[in-house]
Amino acid sequence: MNLSRYLHQPHPEGCDCSVCWSRRETAHPVACQSTPCTECRPVSVLKVDGRWKLTPASICAKHTPSNRPPKYWHVVHDTGKPTPFVPLREPFELVG
């Protein structure tokens, strides 16, 4: 079978290859979590009487980011004085 005939063959009904999986996943779009709600308003730029008019964006309280840093920064803590690396200069034998 030559390559052109192979490429145009349909996949079986329950195919689990990456191409069929991608087609199935993109067939039903998932609502994006960053999609603004009806209370949020995007930036608006309009030309009125030959001048540009800018209306700034408005974000509701639900979608306004917090002023706190992400939680993983609480994991970082001071463990005290660092231990220096001291290389071994004398030869040694592995016991095993």
Residue 21, pLDDT > 80, answer yes
The arithmetic mean of pLDDT across residues 36-49, rounded, is 85
In terms of average pLDDT, the best of 4-13, 20-29, 54-63, 68-77 is 54-63
The arithmetic mean of pLDDT across residues 59-74, rounded, is 75
The arithmetic mean of pLDDT across residues 44-49, rounded, is 90
Residue 6, pLDDT > 80, answer no
Whose CA is closest to 56, among 42, 39, 72? 42
Whose CA is closest to 55, among 72, 43, 63, 37? 43
Q: What percent of the chain has pLDDT over 90?
A: 6
